[in-house]
Amino acid sequence: MPPSRDPRGDRYLAVDSAAGASVLLLDDTWTTGAHAQSAAAALRAAGAVAVGVWVVGRHFNREQTGDHGEAAQAYYRRAREIGWDWDRCCLCDDRSG
């Protein structure tokens, strides 16, 4: 199957029943969410009643063209402007604490 950034119901297949289960799906990267959405769809098809997604990390490809590349460039530019602070979001500059 060719790589795709679109969610696909046939991308993953649950190998066991998830009937009645609530499942926490861990994703190690998030760009479009297509893989997490596809995995969640497979879990729902296997009977899961609820699927939550927790993204552990995020990678920006500054070399990418188009909207994703522009978003990555803007993120890094803003992060460099304000510096690092645990209590501040580099995207919105709001203090969380």
What is the distance of C-alpha 26 from the center of its chain?
9
Neighbours of 44 (CB within 10 A): 16
Amino acid 97: pLDDT = 43
What gap in Å lies between CA 13 and CA 44, rounded to an integer?
A: 10
Per DSSP, 90 falls in state T
**Helices within the chain (DSSP H only):** 34-45, 66-82
Over 50: is that where the pLDDT of 96 sits?
no
Over 80: is that where the pLDDT of 79 sits?
no
Considering the entire predicted model, what is its pTM? 0.54
What gap in Å lies between CA 58 and CA 50, rounded to an integer?
A: 24
